[in-house]
Amino acid sequence: MGTYQDVYEGAQSDATGFWLEAANGIDWVTPPQTALDDSNPPFYRWFADGTLNTCFNAVDRHVDAGGGDQVAIIYDSPITGNASKMTYGALQTATARFAGMLQSLGVEKGDRVIIYMPMIIESIIAMLGCARLGAVHSVVFGGFAAAELATRIDDAKPKAIISASCGHEPGRIVAYKPLLDEAIENAAHKPDHCVIYQREALAADLVAGRDLEWHAAHENAPELPPVTVKATDPLYVLYTSGTTGQPKGVVRDNGGHAVALAWSMPNIYATGPGDVYWAASDIGWVVGHSYIVYAPLLAGCTTVLFEGKPVGTPDAGVFWRIISEHKVKVLFTAPTAFRAIKRADPDADFLENYDTSSLEYLFLAGERADPDTIIWAQDKLNVPVIDHWWQTETGWPMCANPVGIEQLPIKLGSPSVPMPGYEIDILGEDGSVKAPDELGSIAVRLPMPPACLPTVWGADAAFVEKYLTTFPGYYETGDAGYKDADGYLYIMARTDDVINVAGHRLSTGQLEEVLAEHPDVAECAVIGVADQLKGQLPLGLICLYPKSTKPVEQVCAEAIDLVKTRVGRVSAFNLVATIDRLPKTRSGKVLRATMAKIADGEAWSMPATIDDPVILEEVATALKTLGYPKPTD
């Protein structure tokens, strides 16, 4: 196969040859003759003359090859005490029926279907069932509130919505159906039908004529064979946070996605047919889409679907139990999960109860992997810990240590080197390429490799404006960092108003828009403050109208409530303080970065353009009331 260098340079010098070769990893209805269609820049399309079905590739072809009895999905739910397994054969029948059910409800190729579900096998069946029919799924994370769901309903305009009666969070049951009903009521677009999976813990009320009960609708549905789609047809839309309250619908195509993900399994993750692969994430995030569902199944692996938390379900040994019980070869999660385990069980005493020798690699992504956590995980598990870097927009890693090709030296704090097709530059504000070790904006030269977003759902102009305009000829990642002399990348910060909370992307702009709706809030700013467990937490500073007569504590509590109700509990929004005025430059720009430095106890200098320096003292006092900066250990 050659070295990483050979593979990377091969892909750069002959992209057509490289990606057509990679396309052989997929079963096509019409094999593509061309790799890249670059006739309409900056809209690039991969494998434009190819046709296929993604569900067929993830399921049927393994059954056709005699793998029907192999386990496709291991469902392990310590939070409910349930566990089960589903073979590829059973998954084929279930997805075929699901697709048949959708079709009988009037859903056709190209129609959108929203999936608002907890971590149960039916969620995967729903995603694959959409893919089988050629319908475009849009999974909305279960921790989002009704208003967020409504925004997505209005953007995606789904013909059907698939949901469940409830989710399970530690100590409480989250009733999904009232949230779904509220979202549909508030959305301008109305789906024709909802299919509701009734879970044991809670039964949902169904709306006559609109809602169907999953079992009744699915059990006897006709089995639909895979519908052929173009490689460039959309497989799914996944919404992600940007600078404003309007989430962006990242589009994923069928062909490029299948090729890139199938390539990634042996080459990046050193995983192949029959191996047990576990991405401890949620199907609502891109990691869940790519590495709980599509990539492991495309590769013929057994994927683990985990409904629980790294600690507290029931203890900090649950990851080790799952590795040993299911013989997991590769674990992929966010560093937060390991920080939580390390905090609860610093010496990893729980490990003594389990044999984790099946584990060969731990992969981390979603947020910066701090060296302490990497070293702890490496020491305790005795496997290489591989940091890798990617985004919802790319669908697969931009940078990684491709252990399936060769394991490169691990440098702590770096997600290593670019994957094939990603030509990554560090750019200055004027677009000039920075020298090694110099900090700048991280950008990927166009065209991007297969699987990367071809556009934003229904918004070609917004795609160009948000991603392709700042640096002509490049995709702007929104991350800042540098490359060292060996070409290793270091991700240091975001260049926009996005913060990263427990591996989830949150828009501070969006939180500000919600806070500003509170009738007593005249002005506000949300900053990300460092947090030992979750990486960052949002912190709101609000200025009240002089006419406000409510006690300050009450307004703060209401502000927290408002964000949790509008955005969802996943915002982890618990920190609010009041100040008289926001610190601004003379031109009116709020000094968020300076406030974040004060909160984090970092060195900061008085901006020369500040309107009134006294306000920053007031900010520091307000932050102290919330315990910031945190005392150092």
Per CB under 6 A, residues contacting ligand AMP are: 240, 286, 365-369, 387-392, 415, 477-479, 491, 494, 500, 505
Answer yes or no whether residue 167 interacts with ligand COA by CB under 6 A.
yes
User: Which of ligand COA, ligand AMP, none sits in contact with 242, Cβ below 5 to 8 A by type?
Assistant: none
Q: How far is CA 300 from CA 37, 64, 68, 548, in A?
A: 29, 12, 11, 61
Site residues for ligand COA, 529-548, by CB under 6 A, read 533
Answer yes or no whether residue 175 interacts with ligand COA by CB under 6 A.
no
Which residue lies nearer to ligand COA by CB, 46 or 306? Answer: 306
- In the complex, minimum distance from the CB of residue 178 to ligand AMP, in angstroms, rounded to a whole number: 27
Answer yes or no whether residue 143 interacts with ligand COA by CB under 6 A.
yes
Which residue lies nearer to ligand COA by CB, 309 or 411? Answer: 309
User: Which of ligand COA, ligand AMP, none sits in contact with 310, Cβ below 5 to 8 A by type?
Assistant: ligand COA
Q: How far apart are CA 455 and CA 58, in angstroms?
A: 24
Contact 399, 407 (CB under 8 A): no
Q: How far apart are CA 49 and CA 68, in angstroms?
A: 31
Answer yes or no whether residue 317 interacts with ligand COA by CB under 6 A.
no
Which residue lies nearer to ligand AMP by CB, 47 or 236? Answer: 236
Contact 434, 440 (CB under 8 A): yes
- In the complex, minimum distance from the CB of residue 164 to ligand COA, in angstroms, rounded to a whole number: 11
Answer yes or no whether residue 337 interacts with ligand COA by CB under 6 A.
yes
Nearest to 573 by CA among 485, 628, 512: 512
Q: Is 240 helix (H, G, I), strand (E, B) or coil?
A: strand
User: Which of ligand COA, ligand AMP, none sits in contact with 286, Cβ below 5 to 8 A by type?
Assistant: ligand AMP
Which residue lies nearer to ligand AMP by CB, 32 or 284? Answer: 284
Which residue lies nearer to ligand AMP by CB, 313 or 336? Answer: 336
Q: How far is CA 133 from CA 200, 437, 564, in A?
A: 29, 49, 36
Which residue lies nearer to ligand AMP by CB, 285 or 320? Answer: 285
Nearest to 94 by CA among 139, 130, 135: 130
Give the binding range for ligand COA (CB under 6 A) out of 77-85, 249-257, 277-285, 535-543. 277-285
Tokens encoding 531: 């947090």
Site residues for ligand COA, 342-401, by CB under 6 A, read 366
Residue number of the CB atom closest to ligand AMP = 392
Q: Is 281 helix (H, G, I), strand (E, B) or coil?
A: coil
- In the complex, minimum distance from the CB of residue 492 to ligand AMP, in angstroms, rounded to a whole number: 8
User: Which of ligand COA, ligand AMP, none sits in contact with 144, Cβ below 5 to 8 A by type?
Assistant: none
Tokens encoding 159: 């013909």
Number of H helices, E strands in the chain: 20, 31
Q: Is the dihedral of CA 483, 488, 493, 496 positive or negative?
A: positive
| Helix (H) or strand (E) run with residue 122 in it | helix 121-133
The angle subtended at Cα 292 by Cα 55 and Cα 359, nearest 5°, is: 130
User: Which of ligand COA, ligand AMP, none sits in contact with 87, Cβ below 5 to 8 A by type?
Assistant: none
- In the complex, minimum distance from the CB of residue 394 to ligand AMP, in angstroms, rounded to a whole number: 8
Contact 191, 214 (CB under 8 A): no
Q: How far apart are CA 1 and CA 530, in angstroms?
A: 42
Q: How many residues bind ligand COA (CB under 6 A)?
A: 23
Which residue lies nearer to ligand AMP by CB, 423 or 496? Answer: 496
Nearest to 287 by CA among 275, 309, 305: 305
Which residue lies nearer to ligand COA by CB, 22 or 194? Answer: 194
Answer yes or no whether residue 569 interacts with ligand COA by CB under 6 A.
yes
Q: How far is CA 22 from CA 12, 26, 52, 264, in A?
A: 14, 8, 15, 10
Answer yes or no whether residue 202 interacts with ligand COA by CB under 6 A.
no
String marking each residue 283-312 x if it binds ligand COA according to CB under 6 A: --x-x---------------------xxx-
User: Which of ligand COA, ligand AMP, none sits in contact with 167, Cβ below 5 to 8 A by type?
Assistant: ligand COA
Nearest to 294 by CA among 235, 334, 238: 235
- In the complex, minimum distance from the CB of residue 304 to ligand AMP, in angstroms, rounded to a whole number: 20
User: Which of ligand COA, ligand AMP, none sits in contact with 21, Cβ below 5 to 8 A by type?
Assistant: none
Nearest to 279 by CA among 344, 317, 352, 329: 329
Which residue lies nearer to ligand AMP by CB, 226 or 395? Answer: 395
Q: Any idea which residue has 């299911």 for tokens?
A: 326
User: Which of ligand AMP, ligand COA, none sits in contact with 569, Cβ below 5 to 8 A by type?
Assistant: ligand COA
| Helix (H) or strand (E) run with residue 624 in it | helix 614-625
Which residue lies nearer to ligand AMP by CB, 492 or 614? Answer: 492
Which residue lies nearer to ligand AMP by CB, 415 or 450? Answer: 415
Which residue lies nearer to ligand AMP by CB, 92 or 455? Answer: 455
Radius of gyration of the chain, Cα coordinates, nearest whole angstrom: 24
Answer yes or no whether residue 502 interacts with ligand COA by CB under 6 A.
yes
Which of 36, 126, 231, 570 forms a contact with ligand COA (CB under 6 A)? 570
Phi-psi region of 588 (alpha: psi -120 to 50; beta: other; left: phi over 0): left
- In the complex, minimum distance from the CB of residue 403 to ligand COA, in angstroms, rounded to a whole number: 19
Residue 593's Cβ-side half-sphere holds a number of Cα atoms within 13 Å equal to 13
Q: How far apart are CA 368 and CA 381, in angstroms?
A: 20
Answer yes or no whether residue 174 interacts with ligand COA by CB under 6 A.
yes
Q: How far apart are CA 286 and CA 257, in angstroms?
A: 12
Q: How far apart are CA 574 and CA 527, in angstroms?
A: 12
List interacting residues with ligand COA (CB under 6 A). Answer: 142-143, 167, 169, 174, 281-282, 285, 287, 309-311, 334, 336-337, 340, 366, 502-503, 533, 569-570, 572
